[in-house]
Structure 1
Amino acid sequence: MKKNNRTKLAVMLSAAMLISAVPTSAFAESVNKSARMSEAAPPAPSSEGDVMKEIEAPVDVAVTKEKAEALARKYVSIPKEYALQGAHFSMDMLAGGKRNAWGLEFVKKINGKHMGSIYVRIHADNGQLLEFNSYTDNPAAKPTYPLKVERDDAQQIAFQFISTIAADYKANIQYNLDYGVQLLPPLTGEVRHLLRYDRIVNGIPYVDNYIEVQVDSEGHITSYSLQWDNTITFPKVDTKLTPEQANAKLRAAATPQLTYIVPYNVQGKRKPLLSYELQPIAIDAVTGEQKEGSNDLYFRAGTVSETPVTEKPVGEEPKAGTVTEKQAAEAVKAAFKLPAEAELSGSSYNEQNNEGTGTTDAYWHLNWTMKKDGKETGSANASVDGRTGAVRSFYIYYFNGQTQAGSKTISLEQASVLAADAVKKHLPWLTHQLYMVKPDPEQYKGLSAEENRSYYFNFMHKVHGAIVEYDNISVAIDSRTGEITNYEAYLSNFAYPDKAPTIIAKDKAVDNWLNYYQTQLTYRLVQQFTWNGQPIPIEKYKVMVASGEVQGNEVKATTEAELVYRLVPRLIDESVFLDAESGGWRNRETGEATQLEKPKALDIEGHWAQRQLELMVAYKALDVKDGKVRPNEAVTRGELIKMLVLARNSGRPPGLYGSESMEKASFNDVAADSSYFLYVESALEQNLIDLGDGSFNPDGKVSRDEMAELIVRALGYNALANYDHIFKTVYKDSAQIENKGQAAIVVGLKIMSLSDGKFLPKKQVTRAEASVAFFRYLQSRAELQEAPIRM
């Protein structure tokens, strides 16, 4: 038996060396990634039929273009019919130097038709294979279900390939058990196993350097990537914290933050839910000192004020009505300083149904042009709420750094007051909930007015101390005039409770989050930026580059490695958040209650349908109560429809968009708050079920006759099945079968079986029988995929 497996693996590996198909999107992603990393993008071919002519590339490197092509064909076994279509030379910046690389694109064409592409990157200094990806136009190829090659076999194939292609790296890598793992069993044969081998330094994984290989379910290697930087200097550490000591330090540093979030794929209107968020943190592996995280976006960098802008609101929210273009323009002029020569040059009015809140949003978008002596000197634009007249955004720009007047320099403190005053003026009803994010003064230290043209401020929206993460208020103050040059107030229209709800203790929240995270010892790179000889924080660097105040090459960057303990998420099959009120976990997408540890069915061990039942349980098509899935109980109509819709949708819950469809139920016994609502509505939309008399009966039992029709509808053969005279049904109980054509199809495809020559159409289907039928449906669906006829 072992010999046969080794033979099978050897055959797979041999086949893997001949490049197989990957999706166009995967190939494009690889090319785009390479282009982003490079200083030059690959040249576009002048026409479809062009093949690159042999010319001498003006590049002085150890590996010429011709040698790179020869190496690519050797490494990847590129067939001769693939011609070199394009080549580009690029330079990648490393931590302590540079790396030159050739990017080569090979194409296969038949009668002018593009049949396949293979993209390869070769190290131009030492000839190492850095990356390859491929695409083949082969519509006749159809993967089988269940998979021919599972992840364990794919891992062996990948490692054998690495041993051949990157033998010098083999001793310094370690297989990453978690990366790329699909926790849910696949519902389709179109699976690509993503495998990663992390770089090991001093016995410790450096997870930002790795070798990544993708193997499809047929055993073919479809992509390869070597992400490795030999210029990094790693610190030598004699002593470090033990894992126990590190966990204690991480726990002490953990500070969960109350946050309002809004799940986006929910039934009915979306609403904010209060969560306790705990972002992953890192500590120095030697000292235990908490390291600055890289999760904060630069526009929120700084220290959040402990108190709001004002203790109480300083005004009322404007009432809703109708705002004309003239009124919108006047609102902007009253709110911000527009120069006298500013002329309204364009406007547009937009209304949009807000599916999340069930309201209609309306906005005016206005543009102004400033001119002097017949020449444009600047421009301005604004967005105004079409219902209330509140200005939501404003931006003014002067060409060539011109300003209206003034050469004095506004201090950071003065600018802070001006930014707070702007919020009081434009958002008076929210000032008691807005907290200024105070910028680090070091960002602006020693800069002249020309070097620092603007101060940037952000305000965090909090309700009862909880951050409203989807709201953003920002203000930019001109450092020479004190005028507002940029203002944005993106605010949601959700309602919040008048009083703070009762929540779990912070210690409890930390306990729960530390069950979610695991502690990882690894290296990470830290960049230090220097401008004009002075160190600057990364936040300032990003702000200055984004605003155009400096070019990226004006700032020097150095990179160092440091050893840290950090929190990383455990491997779970869904994105979750911690409900601050109940202390339980919820799905971040749907808001539904869930668990980190999925319930296990204890009553299917050794059952004849164990594998199929486990598949349905994994996708929550069948529930587990008190550790039991009850395989021999009758399946309900609701459960069967959920199985079908999940099977057709590769395991993903359906999404019904639009507030009307989310609220209005088609059946009188499946309300919008039912756990079956999305699935039943999706099945009706796909014509898998009929509306009938308006009742669905989700708890009703299902006969074999009914299940046969449902499966045939899902396969798309129901119209054909209705011509039942073309099917030979010599069953002992044929006269009792209502859907004879459908029964013939499911039996012929071996989705359902006979019992002593009988179909038993009236027999109720058990949960186990339904699970097996849908597993076989998945197999048949893969086998019935038909390639298009080529004329």
Structure 2
Amino acid sequence: MKNNNRKKLAVMLSAAMLMSVLPASAFAESVNKNVVTKAAEAVSSSGGVKMDEVFDTPVDAAITKEKAQALARQYVSIPKEYVLQGANLSMEMLASGKRNAWGLDFVKKVNGKHLGSIYVRIHADTGQLLEFSSYTDNTTAKPTYPLKVERDGAQQIAIKFIQKIAADYKEQIQYNPDYGVQLLPPLSGAVVHSLRYDRVVQGIPYVDNYIELQIDSEGNIQRYSLQWDDTISFPKIETKLTAEEANTKLREAATPKLSYIVPYNMQGKKNPVLSYELQPIAIDAVTGELKGESDSSYFRSGTVSENPLTEKPLGELPKANAITEKQAEAVVRSAFKLPEGAVLNGSNYSENQNEGTGTIEAYWYLNWTISKDGKELGSASASVDGRTGAVRNFYTYAYNEQVNATDSLISLEKATAAAEDAVKKHLPWLTHELYLVKPDPKQYEDMSARGNRQYYFNFVHKVHGAAVDYDSISVAIHSVTGEIVNYDAYLSSFEYPAEAPAVIKKEQAVDSWLNYYRTQLTYRLVQQFEWNGQPIPIEKYKLLLASGEIRGDEVETTTEAELVYRLVPRLIDESVYLDAVTGGWSNRETGEATQLEKPKAQDIEGHWAQRQLELMVAYKALDVKDGKVRPNELVTRGELIKMLVLARSSGRSPGLMFGNTATAAKASFNDVATDSSYFVYVESALEQNLIDVGDGSFNPSGKVSRDEMAELIVRALGYNALANYDHIFKASFKDSSQIENQGQAAIVVGLKIMSLTDNKFLPKKQVTRGEASVAFFRYLQSRAELQEAPLRL
């Protein structure tokens, strides 16, 4: 039976090598919407519910549900087999008004199976199409590679659709060349082009109003969205700063800050690195005044103190020692005031290897129930370091705590002192590196009236003045009792230099960051709030709203547009940070040195493999030295494996499944160490069974023959075992007797991944970098064509 199955697969593979595959429509992305669906008994032959046959919709809108459905079918050309399953009418707030919109869900079902859906949103007052998205459950769809429709072709499709659907907006928009651009060339046909056309007001783009489309590589429009607010009042601009003047103001306002970060995919043992960070800022385009964030999520924020809690540490780091459950509970009870009636009702001990530091961490997790007279009143929990006995967090909660406006509340100053004392008590070895974030007093105005029961405080950990972004300390103080109700101290165990390292000057950091950012002139909205006839700051509004003390409709809101120059990141294909020591850019994921401007190969212009070589250079599968990629040089085994692994993973790094920590970073080959640039690729290839350990050596600098490359490619396709049936795959070449992997050679030639010379395969010939690039490009094409859809039963 197994032999028969293999023969059938062999026949299918042979046919695939001889036939071209017809392109099919790509999958459409689904967009989930909360749509109100009414139950109905009338079911069409396709299995969908026809809502309009069941009842009339009791809503008051200029556009009825029936009219909205007709418009939706007109705009989007919804096939007849798609029936309306759900509809809802929603009101949406605008800057100075509101609008109603119909949301319509159309579905296609056959024999009860969901085969597709189309969601459409129609302006219920004007009938304008606001949005549509589609999803098709077509498991046989296989997007072609290379792409049938590139980004420039998608733009032409988008403009034609906008002309048809939103002609009135066509003259008010301009193409945004930066939005949705995929800087790396695709490695598969499963590509969706995201295009955006920004609204233009007085010749200036307003980037928060736009028309957006998503078009797949087959040319199908998957999604359309009109984000537009006609109620916004834009200021009339008489004069504004020039771009040069704005750049000068932005430079003056730029304040880079030193921070310790840890690249999350750093190879080997992770270590903190010192970086200069500069957040994007904005200035008034007329006055040059520095502007705050218009949509800032201001909540429990404040100003970081200039000085630490103490000049010197108040104690030493606790020494490692095994802590029992009884000891852990005793530590918590001595450190915090557990409410009367607290009884330990659960505990858990766990050990875990910290992938960042390579150390074993142990914690006790404790839970208490708080009761009185047999009635449960609340709960408490804590976690304690199982090695040192230091409390990592503590939390207590009283059920149904009564809020009395007459309660006497402690002052913010007293609560601040209590929070500082708590941190000094629990983290004495760190007090010289901890800085209080002073809360804005406005947050706690009218606390008794609002029933606010807690003051919240945060502390920043700094080492030699550089913030440790991954550490977090917070304390909550009860506003009546002054007791600690919440304490969190999530601190890493990384080691830091005893002395502050020498860093580049701030001016150099600013220069580098302003090269990373570009200056954009645009509008943004600023909201002002009034409650009970009095203006309130946005921070207080958000706090009241978050606490449930006010409703949004109780506050009068006015929205104004302001013109700003702001910093926005340039288009680059990776997340980066500025190394404060070297002054160079590094990849934020891996920590490896990189550049904002990628090196371009100067020696492949006009080369027969130029396109394929550019692809490999873009994904860093081939290096560029002194502007040269050396296409006619022999490719190495390390380079070839890197190409293969990147090709199989659509260009994504295999990740550091291997070697995240000092203990886990064990090399499988004696000549590919954990700090080798090929380490993760070689280990990934081994994990995927593309190579084997053999004698324990890999020889990354060794050359590769055509025979070896053929086997690698067939392994990547998943047909290596099948290729060994030489009676099925016969290599009838002039030099067949010299080929070690004859079945593999037959497959790569049959799939046109590798070619013959005078009917010779030339198995011993060594492969150049250009030849390898072409072979893997063709591998990607064949992989797309050979993709087999799952069998439907």
Q: Smaller-chain TM-score range?
A: over 0.9
- Say whether residues 1:31 and 2:32 are aligned partners: yes
Counterparts of 1:789 and 1:408 in 2: how far apart (Å)?
Answer: 71
Query: Following TM superposition, by how much is the alpha carbon of 1:386 offset from its aligned partner in structure 2, in angstroms?
Result: 2.4
Give the counterpart of 2:779 among 774, 777, 784: 777
Counterparts of 1:535 and 1:129 in 2: how far apart (Å)?
Answer: 37
Asked if the contact 2:475–2:487 (Cα under 8 Å) also holds between the matched residues in 1, the reply is yes
Compared with structure 1, are the counterparts of its residues 687 and 191 closer, same or farther at alpha carbon in structure 2 (3 Å cutoff)?
A: same
- Mapping for residues 119-518 of structure 1, pairs under 5 Å: 119-293=119-293, 298=298, 301-402=301-402, 407-448=407-448, 450-518=450-518
Deviations 1:130-167 (A, max 9, x none): 11111111121111111111100100101110111111
Asked if the contact 1:22–1:134 (Cα under 8 Å) also holds between the matched residues in 2, the reply is no
- 1:8 aligns to what? none
Q: Aligned letter for 2:152?
A: D
Question: Could you say what secondary structure the match of 1:724 adopts?
Answer: coil
Deviations 1:236-265 (A, max 9, x none): 121111101100000000000001111111
- 1:16 aligns to what? none
Identity of aligned residues (%): 75
- Mapping for residues 566-585 of structure 1, pairs under 5 Å: 566-585=566-585
Deviations 1:173-214 (A, max 9, x none): 110001000011100011110000011111111111111001
Q: Aligned letter for 2:717?
A: L
Alignment length (residue pairs): 762
Which consecutive unaligned segments of at least 5 residues does structure 1 have? Answer: 1-18, 36-40
Counterparts of 1:323 and 1:636 in 2: how far apart (Å)?
Answer: 54
Tell me whether 160-169 or 724-733 shows the greater mean CA deviation.
724-733
- 2:18 aligns to what? none
Give the counterpart of 1:685 among 684, 687, 694: 687
Question: Could you say what secondary structure the match of 1:627 adopts?
Answer: coil
- 1:59 aligns to what? 59
Counterparts of 1:550 and 1:395 in 2: how far apart (Å)?
Answer: 27
- Say whether residues 1:600 and 2:594 are aligned partners: no
Asked if the contact 1:452–1:549 (Cα under 8 Å) also holds between the matched residues in 2, the reply is no
- 2:17 aligns to what? none
- TM-score with structure 2 setting the length: 0.92
Counterparts of 1:625 and 1:385 in 2: how far apart (Å)?
Answer: 50
Compared with structure 1, are the counterparts of its residues 422 and 299 closer, same or farther at alpha carbon in structure 2 (3 Å cutoff)?
A: farther
Counterparts of 1:44 and 1:603 in 2: how far apart (Å)?
Answer: 65
Query: Following TM superposition, by how much is the alpha carbon of 1:300 offset from its aligned partner in structure 2, in angstroms?
Result: 6.0
Query: Following TM superposition, by how much is the alpha carbon of 1:348 offset from its aligned partner in structure 2, in angstroms?
Result: 2.8
Counterparts of 1:615 and 1:148 in 2: how far apart (Å)?
Answer: 17
Asked if the contact 1:616–1:771 (Cα under 8 Å) also holds between the matched residues in 2, the reply is yes
Asked if the contact 2:48–2:84 (Cα under 8 Å) also holds between the matched residues in 1, the reply is no
Q: Aligned letter for 2:671?
A: D
- 2:746 aligns to what? 744
Question: Could you say what secondary structure the match of 1:787 adopts?
Answer: coil
Deviations 1:435-488 (A, max 9, x none): 111112222235436543322211111111111111111112222222222221
- 2:661 aligns to what? 659
Deviations 1:100-151 (A, max 9, x none): 1121111111111111111111111211111111111112111111111110
Counterparts of 1:523 and 1:452 in 2: how far apart (Å)?
Answer: 37
Question: Could you say what secondary structure the match of 1:31 adopts?
Answer: coil
Question: Could you say what secondary structure the match of 1:663 adopts?
Answer: coil
Tell me whether 557-566 or 138-147 shows the greater mean CA deviation.
557-566
Counterparts of 2:38 and 2:344 in 1: how far apart (Å)?
Answer: 42
Question: Could you say what secondary structure the match of 2:158 adopts?
Answer: helix
Question: Could you say what secondary structure the match of 1:448 adopts?
Answer: helix
Give the counterpart of 2:36 among 37, 42, 47: 42
Q: Aligned letter for 2:432?
A: H
Counterparts of 1:659 and 1:44 in 2: how far apart (Å)?
Answer: 55
- 2:714 aligns to what? 712
- 1:80 aligns to what? 80
- Say whether residues 1:788 and 2:793 are aligned partners: no
Compared with structure 1, are the counterparts of its residues 331 and 547 closer, same or farther at alpha carbon in structure 2 (3 Å cutoff)?
A: farther
Asked if the contact 1:405–1:481 (Cα under 8 Å) also holds between the matched residues in 2, the reply is no
Query: Following TM superposition, by how much is the alpha carbon of 1:55 offset from its aligned partner in structure 2, in angstroms?
Result: 1.5
Counterparts of 1:388 and 1:537 in 2: how far apart (Å)?
Answer: 45
Query: Following TM superposition, by how much is the alpha carbon of 1:336 offset from its aligned partner in structure 2, in angstroms?
Result: 1.6
- 1:71 aligns to what? 71
Question: Could you say what secondary structure the match of 2:314 adopts?
Answer: coil
Compared with structure 1, are the counterparts of its residues 551 and 419 closer, same or farther at alpha carbon in structure 2 (3 Å cutoff)?
A: farther
Deviations 1:509-564 (A, max 9, x none): 00000000000000111223444554444344444444555555555543221110
Asked if the contact 2:531–2:554 (Cα under 8 Å) also holds between the matched residues in 1, the reply is yes
Compared with structure 1, are the counterparts of its residues 541 and 391 closer, same or farther at alpha carbon in structure 2 (3 Å cutoff)?
A: farther
Query: Following TM superposition, by how much is the alpha carbon of 1:489 offset from its aligned partner in structure 2, in angstroms?
Result: 1.3
Query: Following TM superposition, by how much is the alpha carbon of 1:363 offset from its aligned partner in structure 2, in angstroms?
Result: 2.4
Query: Following TM superposition, by how much is the alpha carbon of 1:381 offset from its aligned partner in structure 2, in angstroms?
Result: 2.2
Deviations 1:310-365 (A, max 9, x none): 11111122222222332222222222222212223333333322211212222223
Tell me whether 406-415 or 687-696 shows the greater mean CA deviation.
406-415
Counterparts of 1:404 and 1:444 in 2: how far apart (Å)?
Answer: 16
- Say whether residues 1:107 and 2:101 are aligned partners: no
Question: Could you say what secondary structure the match of 1:68 adopts?
Answer: helix
- 2:13 aligns to what? none
Counterparts of 2:539 and 2:314 in 1: how far apart (Å)?
Answer: 32
Compared with structure 1, are the counterparts of its residues 770 and 260 closer, same or farther at alpha carbon in structure 2 (3 Å cutoff)?
A: same
Asked if the contact 2:132–2:225 (Cα under 8 Å) also holds between the matched residues in 1, the reply is yes
Question: Could you say what secondary structure the match of 1:371 adopts?
Answer: strand
Counterparts of 2:60 and 2:743 in 1: how far apart (Å)?
Answer: 71
Counterparts of 2:81 and 2:487 in 1: how far apart (Å)?
Answer: 58
- 1:649 aligns to what? 649
Question: Could you say what secondary structure the match of 1:170 adopts?
Answer: helix
Compared with structure 1, are the counterparts of its residues 186 and 675 closer, same or farther at alpha carbon in structure 2 (3 Å cutoff)?
A: same
Asked if the contact 1:176–1:195 (Cα under 8 Å) also holds between the matched residues in 2, the reply is yes
Asked if the contact 1:21–1:137 (Cα under 8 Å) also holds between the matched residues in 2, the reply is no
Question: Could you say what secondary structure the match of 2:252 adopts?
Answer: helix
Query: Following TM superposition, by how much is the alpha carbon of 1:21 offset from its aligned partner in structure 2, in angstroms?
Result: 5.2
- 1:754 aligns to what? 756
Query: Following TM superposition, by how much is the alpha carbon of 1:90 offset from its aligned partner in structure 2, in angstroms?
Result: 1.8
Tell me whether 573-582 or 357-366 shows the greater mean CA deviation.
357-366
Asked if the contact 1:20–1:134 (Cα under 8 Å) also holds between the matched residues in 2, the reply is no
Q: Aligned letter for 2:334?
A: A
Question: Could you say what secondary structure the match of 2:787 adopts?
Answer: coil
Question: Could you say what secondary structure the match of 1:752 adopts?
Answer: coil
Counterparts of 2:484 and 2:732 in 1: how far apart (Å)?
Answer: 84
Query: Following TM superposition, by how much is the alpha carbon of 1:295 offset from its aligned partner in structure 2, in angstroms?
Result: 8.4
Counterparts of 2:648 and 2:99 in 1: how far apart (Å)?
Answer: 46
Tell me whether 477-486 or 45-54 shows the greater mean CA deviation.
45-54
Q: Aligned letter for 2:412?
A: L
Q: Aligned letter for 1:318?
A: P
Which consecutive unaligned segments of at least 5 residues does structure 2 have? Answer: 1-23
- 1:624 aligns to what? 624
- 1:635 aligns to what? 635
Q: Aligned letter for 1:765?
A: V
How well do the aligned residues superpose, as a CA RMSD in angstroms? 2.2
Counterparts of 1:318 and 1:546 in 2: how far apart (Å)?
Answer: 39
Counterparts of 1:93 and 1:396 in 2: how far apart (Å)?
Answer: 39
Compared with structure 1, are the counterparts of its residues 279 and 304 closer, same or farther at alpha carbon in structure 2 (3 Å cutoff)?
A: same
Counterparts of 1:245 and 1:745 in 2: how far apart (Å)?
Answer: 64
Deviations 1:631-678 (A, max 9, x none): 000000000000000000000110133537851000000000000000
